Amino acid sequence: MTRERQPGQRRFSPAAIGADVLLLAWFLFSLFPLVWLVLLSLKSESEQISTFFEFTPTLSNFGTVLSAEGARLTSVNFTDALLTSVLNCVGAVLVSLVIGVPAAYAAGRWQYKGSNDVMFTILSFRFAPELMVIVPLFVIYNQLGLFDTNIGMIWVLQLVTMPLIVWILRSYFQDLPPELEQAALLDGYTRKRAFLMVALPLVRPGIAASALLAFIFAWNNYVFPLILTGSSHTPVTVAVTRFLGGGGQAFYSLTAAAAIIAALPPLLVALSIQRYLVRGLSFGAVKA
């Protein structure tokens, strides 16, 4: 007589065990580059091509990356590059929120002939290849004096952050019952005040989630800063690669340490707003 399985209890079978083994193998395969990156960052220069585990761990690579020695090796101050990236990405996200939140509200509340075409045009700025527009942008930036400036980078990163914020928040506003704002209008609120006092507080999780995703996409962008910046305002994504060829030598351990340091700001931002992020990604964001 077979026992009845409890809710959530699985029946072990060769197929289930095989699937679990394949899933575990794929997980280890996906995690291996991160483990290798961490181990490489803890190796000295003489041990960077040694065997996988046979080395003496050291934190000197992180100090070198952030010190004057690292700047001498790469001609880029990595600390300044970190601050430049923070300034550019935060500025781009703030400008995108100021413009994108009202745009998303309008797109979610009013439908008119051609509104879907407008939204598709906004989205096309996100999935269009960056190399397709980099040459005219380079010419325009040189003519306007925006090349190698923070303002120029904040402006160009709108192509990355704005479509993401508008499309995500549009679905949030579409999920909000319009009766909430209509009740506020009956109470004497203007449309602007109803938006600020009623609709906007209800989509705060969505704003947090979209802002974080926009920040990550802006932080990881490489093509725009590579072409549109020089030595004065180099962001962290370009600064990391300088350790691969500084002085004609590739410093793999320093590159790994710089990559780990560069990954910390988005991680810290995500951890600080995780309670909003979970709600934001589970409410409204899947609706198109």
Question: What mean pLDDT is reported for the chain?
Answer: 83
The domain ranges of the chain are 14-58, 68-282
pLDDT band at 97 (very low <50, low <70, confident <90, very high): very high
Of 166, 194, 185, the closest CA to residue 108 belongs to: 166
Backbone angles phi, psi at 4, to 5 degrees: -75, 135
pLDDT at 2 over 60: no
pLDDT at 100 over 80: yes
Of 190, 174, 151, the closest CA to residue 104 belongs to: 174
pLDDT band at 224 (very low <50, low <70, confident <90, very high): very high
Contacts of 39 (CB under 8 A, 6+ apart): 52, 53, 55
pLDDT band at 142 (very low <50, low <70, confident <90, very high): very high
Task: Measure the CA–CA gap between 157 and 193, rounded to whole angstroms.
Answer: 30
pLDDT at 191 over 80: yes
pLDDT band at 287 (very low <50, low <70, confident <90, very high): very low
Surface-to-core class of residue 3, CB atoms within 10 Å of its CB (0-12 exposed, 13-18 middle, 19+ buried): exposed
Domain 68-282 has CATH 1.10.630.10: no
| Range 164-193 average pLDDT | 86
| Range 21-34 average pLDDT | 89
Q: Three-state DSSP class for 71? A: helix
Token look-up 């705060």 returns 204
CA Rg value for the chain: 24
Q: Give me the pLDDT at residue 73, please.
A: 75
| Range 203-208 average pLDDT | 86
Structure tokens at 34: 């991160």
Contact present, 158 and 92 (Cβ < 8 Å):
yes
* Least confident residue range of 44-58, 91-105, 137-151: 44-58
| Range 8-20 average pLDDT | 72
* Least confident residue range of 89-98, 157-166, 176-185: 176-185
Of 74, 241, 234, 71, the closest CA to residue 152 belongs to: 234
Task: Measure the CA–CA gap between 100 and 157, rounded to whole angstroms.
Answer: 13
* Least confident residue range of 111-125, 165-179, 185-199, 230-244: 111-125
Surface-to-core class of residue 153, CB atoms within 10 Å of its CB (0-12 exposed, 13-18 middle, 19+ buried): buried
